Structure 1
């Protein structure tokens, strides 16, 4: 993986993770204005108007520069096609952060979420010196949990009926991973 701090991008075999650009707003709206994405995310509104995309992207660059949060557009490395988003918070006092992602429904099942999440986890472990990364998903969205498992995360617990959404309660399932270098400093 190539980490280029100057232009704030990460590269994988198939993907280029980059900051969102204003030109991405309409495509973000189109992907996120999808009930299937809404029902599997914690805070995404539905319907999802263009103004939501614009306001969501407004502080990405500043948050990155201030080391508060790192949010990337998941794009095809060769064509630039937008597939989704991946982001991770930076809880500096605790040396950890929560990773989250979404992929446009047309691109589900192709491994983009896993590839992007792995790249971001590697980035924060190597470049930002995180000790731990964690994630959570609704029990009704096991595909998100599969991404976490493929990234080496371990199941840590379930908060039963923790979220009330769409007139029903949802279990929230937690996963986490420790920085292997920090976990075994002698190796």
Structure 2
């Protein structure tokens, strides 16, 4: 993971994580206006409109600069192709944050989510001195849990029928990881 403070980018073997721009909105709409992504995410609206994309992107840079949240596009390092999004909140008081992500359906199963998640965890541990990162997923979406496991996160528990989505209750599964460098300050 190579972090550029100047460009606000994170580079991995295959990926460039960067701030979204308004020019990404059409690609975001194409990927997010997908029922399969909607049903496996907690807050993504459906149908997903241009206004959804533009209003979501509008505050990313400010949130990053103010250390509120780090929301980045997952892109191919060479071609620039957009694969999805990854974000981590910053709960400064608790020195932790929640990791969240989505990958466009056509890019599922290629390891982009895992590679991006590993980079984001490393970024907040090394650059932002987080003590802990946590993530959650619907029990009905075990692929998201596999990403968490591959990043070294461990199962922490499940909230039974915690969320009502698409006419049914969903169990929420929690994972977490403590900074191995022990940043407790």
TM category (shorter chain) comes to over 0.9
What runs of 5+ residues in structure 1 fail to find an aligned partner?
none
Using the TM superposition, give the Cα deviation of residue 168 of structure 1 relative to its aligned residue in structure 2, in angstroms. 0.4
Measured against aligned partners, the alpha-carbon deviations of 1:31-81 in whole angstroms (never above 9, x if no partner) come to: 000000000000001100111000000000000000000010000000000
Counterparts of 1:24 and 1:181 in 2: how far apart (Å)? 36
With over 3 angstroms needed to count, the CA separation of the structure-2 counterparts of 1:49 and 1:184, relative to structure 1, is closer
Corresponding residue for 2:79? 79
Count matched residues.
185
Q: What SS is found at the alignment partner of 2:181?
A: helix
Instruction: Give me the TM-score of the superposition, normalised by structure 1.
Output: 0.97
1:34 is aligned to: 34
* Cross-structure match for 2:58: 58
Matches within 5 A, 1:41-52: 41-52=41-52
* Whole-Å separation in 1 of the counterparts to 2:62 and 2:54: 14
In the TM superposition, residue 2 of structure 1 has moved relative to its aligned partner by 1.0
- Counterpart in the other structure of 2:70: 70
- Rounded to whole Å, the distance in 2 between the matches of 1:132 and 1:70 is 15
Task: For 1:183 and 1:127, locate their aligned partners in 2 and report how far apart those are by CA, in whole Å.
Answer: 11
> Distance between the aligned counterparts of 1:74 and 1:110, measured in 2?
13
Q: Counterpart in 2 of 1:89?
A: 89
> In the alignment, is the contact (CA less than 8 A) between 2:12 and 2:115 conserved in 1?
yes
How far apart in 1 are the matches of 2:2 and 2:160?
40
Q: TM-score, normalised by structure 2?
A: 0.98
Aligned-partner SS, 2:71: strand
Q: Is the 8 A contact 2:95 2:131 kept in 1?
A: yes
User: Alpha-carbon deviation of 1:183?
Assistant: 6.8
State how far apart, in whole Å, the 2-side matches of 1:20 and 1:184 are. 31
**Cα deviation digits, residues 126-150 of structure 1 (max 9, x gap):** 0000000000000000000000000
Q: Give 5+ residue unaligned stretches, structure 2.
A: none
What does residue 128 of structure 1 align with? Answer: 128
Q: Which residue of 1 aligns with 2:161?
A: 161
2:17 counterpart SS class: strand
Q: Does 1:115 align with 2:115?
A: yes
Q: Tell me the alpha carbon deviations over residues 104-139 of structure 1, each in whole angstroms, 9 at most, x when there is no partner.
A: 000000000000000000000000000000000000
Aligned residue for 1:175?
A: 175
Give 1:12's aligned residue. 12
